[in-house]
Amino acid sequence: MVFWQETPGFELEAENIQVLTDAKQYHAELLRLIKSAQTRIYITALYLQDDDAGREVLSALHEASCANPNLEVNVLVDFHRAQRGLIGEKQSDGNASLYCQALSDYQSNVRIYGVPVKAKELFGVLHLKGFVVDNMLLYSGASLNDVYLQKGEKYRLDRYFVINQHQLADSFCDFTNKYLISSEGVPRIDSRPLPKFNDIKLAQKKLMRELKKAKYDLSSARKREGLNVRAFLGFGRRTNKLNRLIKSLFDTTDETLVLYTPYFNFPAPLLRSLRRLLKQGKEVTIIVGDKTANDFYICPEQPFSRIGALPYLYETILQKFLKSQKRHISSGRLKVYLWKDGANSFHLKGISKDNHTHLLSGHNLNPRAWGLDIENGILIEDPQQDILPRLEEEKQTILANCRLLSGPDDIESLGDYPLPVKKLLGQAKRVKVDFIIKKFI
């Protein structure tokens, strides 16, 4: 028995899981759920942005609270990310200014909290996902802004699941209350004066120690054959159950493994497992975004910024992998698809093993997620493959904007890159800091 089966999951009926396939559906479903909320709304995301879509969602939350004063509304975002401007913009209070103004305007019961995972954003962020509305869980890797919700022309594609399972929803809310909202290290950031990190430093250290031992409550689950679901938490390196789950999914694959990741930079343990699977003759499919579909990509015609080198760095890692696995690509055991759709971006994550075990997660399958950020995921076991047709439909929708790579020559290499990128990546390699950078991306 694999370790995740030591604890049973929550019973799930196939009709109680819905798979959405685009950002507009995600946007409409989120607003519909907020408007229909009766008892509770818990939103956990990296950020809720001060833009048209973010303001629309925040207004909907306040309006729902004003219409129903008994409605519990809690929003949790990353502490540091909420109190800065966008990369490249002048220093500001960031999204927290919006939160303060909205609370002042509405005087509702909406509460917004900032979760400080590390002393600095560079070393780890709140990357937990999941929006609970009453007994429904809307789960996606997406945060809340114009491109994630496709408020305008552009979108950032993610995966979107609506799960109606009250025990699962309860476990998300119980975890949030027990470990986050109750902590003095998680202050409200919707009223002034805004808290500074030094004000909560000691409480934050205590919070981090507790989170490394934390887990979602599965005590009400009962052993059952058939479709079931449970949540996993991942934080830190030594006791990270989500990392252990991911590694186990790789290592217990019998026939096929499908991986979605926006950034091609697998942690070393997963890369070793991938190579072992391919040597054993297993089939592996990887769906990754083109460098131009990376949210850090800067068109060559625009002024260059160092952050714009990241998509090219990911592509060099991908090319190295393709070179090392040419024989498996030729045999058809390894399929690598590159997604691109105009100026839109790609943010999909997740794992499917042998068509019956599926991990929905915001985990990027990269070293940063593996060792720095706090992550979660939802494991669905589907022995009868009841939901497989919906997941296959989702996959085909994604593949419609993909091309299958036949080898390393199908993508650009360092010599093809714009001069500023070429210089920067060359310098990083010469002074041997490229391997350090890869641990943070």
Which residues have a catalytic role annotated?
127, 158, 347, 375
Which stretch of DSSP H or E encloses residue 67? helix 52-67
The DSSP call for residue 309 is: G
In whole angstroms, give the CA distance from residue 435 to residue 429. 8
Q: Which residues pair with 44 in a beta bridge?
A: 76
In whole angstroms, give the CA distance from residue 410 to residue 78. 38
Radius of gyration of the chain (CA): 21
Tell me if 397 sits within 8 A of 334, measured CB to CB.
Answer: no
CB neighbours of 420 closer than 8 A, spacing ≥ 6?
Answer: 304, 309
Tell me if 405 sits within 8 A of 338, measured CB to CB.
Answer: yes
Six-digit token pair at 351?
């794992």
| Cα distances (angstroms) measured from residue 345 to each of 140, 141, 262 | 15, 13, 9
The DSSP call for residue 303 is: P
Six-digit token pair at 395?
């996959």
3-class secondary structure for 159-227? CEEEEECHHHHHHHHHHHHHHHHCCCCCCECCCCCCCCHHHHHHHHHHHHHHHCCCCCCCCCCCCCCCC
Length of the chain: 441
In whole angstroms, give the CA distance from residue 41 to residue 252. 37
